[in-house]
Amino acid sequence: MIKNIFLPFMVIVWVLIGGSLSAKDSYQRDPNVDIIHYCFRVQLNDSTDRIEGSADITFSLAKTTQELRLDLAGLNDKGAGMVVERVEAGGQTLLWHHENKRLGIEIPDTLSAPGIHSITVTYSGIPADGLVISKNKYGDRTFFADNWPDRARNWIPCVDHPSDKATVEFIVTAPGRYTIVSNGIPAAVYPVNKGTNQRNLVSSWKEEVPVPTKVMVFGAADFAWETAGYSKGIPVQSWVYAQDRLPGFLDYRPAVEIVTFYQDLIGPYSYKKLANVQSKTMFGGMENSGCIFYYEKSVTGKNNLQGLLAHEIAHQWFGDAVTEGDWHHIWLSEGFATYLEACYADSMLAGRNLSDNMAEMRKSVIRYHEKTHKPVIDTTIVNNMELLSANSYQKGAWVLHMLRQELGDELFWSGIRAFYATYRDRNAMSSDLQSVMEQVSGRKLDNFFRQWLEIPGQPVIQWSWTYDEKKKWVEIDIEQMQDQYDFEFDLTLGFSGMQTESGPGNPKSTLAKVHVGNKKEHFTLPVDFRVTEIKLDPGTGLLFQEF
Ligand SMILES: [Zn+2]
């Protein structure tokens, strides 16, 4: 079979090229431009899905620049999409061209020098995606932004990539029956009539911490909301459809305790409030910063959302505050959220212990590998929706779980806290996590990070053993059967058997750890009782499969 033969060759070349712990995805970035702040004005109405928008964009130029490139989806063949009406700066009208979802704005000399500048883009249209305008489960009209991965460009002009974080303000004008929720805190709400008998409300929200466009949102609906509680002074709110007030408040209330759990475990929460919002997101949950959207049917009144809440709230720390600098490093968001959810469940939820959870996740990782043979950092992915895989979630969680075994609880958690403290409200790559963990532990972790993030698959172990009653030792042979790479790892062995010296024999058990670094290994381990059974990895600390 060719592919297999080809595969090992491929991997070797790849490692030589120095791997992808810091490789960049295909998004065309402009290193000269850094967006600092967005102020989005959006006008909604009930007669059409057309929005009127204007965006004040403040940006800094590192070098003289003739063109500012933004992402904005223009008209598609169904007539949906945004049409730019005007681009201005300091009262001056600027020239632009808008094609292929890119808005290129010619920067006049007055604005091209290095430093901080602002422009305003006025536009309108029917969003093809990104802003979901629809009826909710009660048949009521609602508006919910749903930007992940890079769908924000369908309704706001922006640098639509996680590597360019900025502060944001939404000023939403909508018919009076809508309540608006968004990132940050409310700055103002006031009525306007615009010469019609339609009473509109203007609601403005401000987020003063830089966040990526994937989580810049607002929701407009007939909401009921409450402050469920405070976590170290941070208000934790529940925003649900008015009809779902009681079951919704019940289901979202555990969020308070979850925020406190993570504040204690990792570090301070980055935003001024957390709203948990029933919405029309296409995902089970979407971790918008300070304003998490959950699928509308999540509200049942059964108070069984702790897992989902724990996952999305963990993203406030990893995904929102610490954001992957590149789509291919999304495990820094999804792997972290998946692992932290499991840690929360292990500590706070009955019957959800970590090793059972990890054993379940291990099965998903192995199943996914059988189908795809791809590494966690898969630079071949161009359609970002494919990033939502068991490699990003469960295998990402396993990388953290094994790092915890490797370094021990204390060093691991202080490494996680140091990583958060260092990259909070900024971007990070996998190589940054490695450096922090190396600093904290004083150990070189190249091989660990490379083999678990850049090599597809996991060890496939074939093994056999004998017990020598006379010599009182176990002989064990281990062979790695996967053909793409010989992994290096510690393997715990669980011995159980009978102590025979003192009479009929009482059951005995013990553990031993061996280090596997080659395709074939042979170990001789003294055990002072007659071994009848050996279990590989009894504590569920290694991502492997038995041959
Ligand atoms: Zn997630």
What does the alpha-carbon distance between residue 345 and residue 348 come to, in Å, rounded to a whole number? 5
Residue spans of alpha helices (H) in 373-456: 396-407, 409-423, 430-441, 446-453
Give pLDDT, residue 6: 44
What does the alpha-carbon distance between residue 242 and residue 138 come to, in Å, rounded to a whole number? 10
pLDDT, one tens digit per residue, over 255-264 is: 999 999 999 9
Give pLDDT, residue 153: 98
Residues 217 and 228 both lie in one domain: no
pLDDT, one tens digit per residue, over 30-81 is: 999 999 999 999 999 999 999 999 999 999 999 999 999 999 999 999 999 9
Residues 298 and 399 both lie in one domain: yes
Last residue of a domain, one of 221, 239, 260: 221
Q: Is the pLDDT of residue 504 over 70?
A: no
Last residue of a domain, one of 204, 221, 238: 221
Look at the alpha carbons of 406, 410, 413, 418 in this order and tell me if their dihedral is positive or negative. negative
Cα Rg for the chain, rounded, in angstroms?
27
Residues 471 and 352 both lie in one domain: no
Residues 438 and 478 both lie in one domain: no
Average pLDDT (505-513) is: 91
Last residue of a domain, one of 425, 455, 485: 455
Here the CATH number for the domain that contains residue 87 is 2.60.40.1730
Overall pTM > 0.85: yes
Residues 69 and 140 both lie in one domain: yes
Name the amino acid, one letter, at 541: G
Give pLDDT, residue 5: 46
Contact 69, 103 (CB under 8 A): yes
How many domains is the chain partitioned into structurally?
3
Residues 241 and 380 both lie in one domain: yes
Here the CATH number for the domain that contains residue 317 is 1.10.390.10
How many A from CA of 220 to the centre of ligand 1?
A: 23
How many A from CA of 395 to the centre of ligand 1?
A: 13
What does the alpha-carbon distance between residue 315 and residue 271 come to, in Å, rounded to a whole number? 12
Q: Is the pLDDT of residue 101 over 60?
A: yes
Residues 303 and 402 both lie in one domain: yes
Residues 444 and 470 both lie in one domain: no
pLDDT, one tens digit per residue, over 451-501 is: 999 999 999 999 999 999 889 999 999 999 998 899 999 999 999 998 766
Query: What range defines the domain where residue 339 resides?
Result: 1-27+224-455
What does the alpha-carbon distance between residue 424 and residue 439 come to, in Å, rounded to a whole number? 18
How many A from CA of 338 to the centre of ligand 1?
A: 7
Residues 179 and 238 both lie in one domain: no
> Two tokens at 8?
């090992």
213 alpha carbon, distance to own chain's centre: 13
How many A from CA of 459 to the centre of ligand 1?
A: 26
Find the Cα–Cα–Cα–Cα dihedral 253, 256, 259, 265, rounded to 10°: -120
How many A from CA of 284 to the centre of ligand 1?
A: 9
Residues 79 and 114 both lie in one domain: yes
pLDDT, one tens digit per residue, over 265-281 is: 999 999 999 999 999 99
Here the CATH number for the domain that contains residue 535 is 2.60.40.1840
pLDDT, one tens digit per residue, over 354-401 is: 999 999 999 999 999 999 999 999 999 999 999 999 999 999 999 999
Neighbours of ion ligand 1 (CB under 5 A): 334, 337
Give pLDDT, residue 24: 66
Give pLDDT, residue 13: 39
No. of H helices and E strands in the chain? 11, 29
Question: DSSP character for 318?
Answer: B
What is the CB-side half-sphere exposure of residue 64 using CA atoms within 13 A? 4
Q: Which of 29, 106, 114 is nearest to 71 (CA)?
A: 29
- Sheet containing 179-182: order of strands: 131-135, 141-145, 218-221, 179-182
Residues 530 and 502 both lie in one domain: yes
pLDDT, one tens digit per residue, over 512-540 is: 999 999 999 999 999 999 999 999 999 99
Q: Is the pLDDT of residue 11 over 50?
A: no
What does the alpha-carbon distance between residue 351 and residue 389 come to, in Å, rounded to a whole number? 26
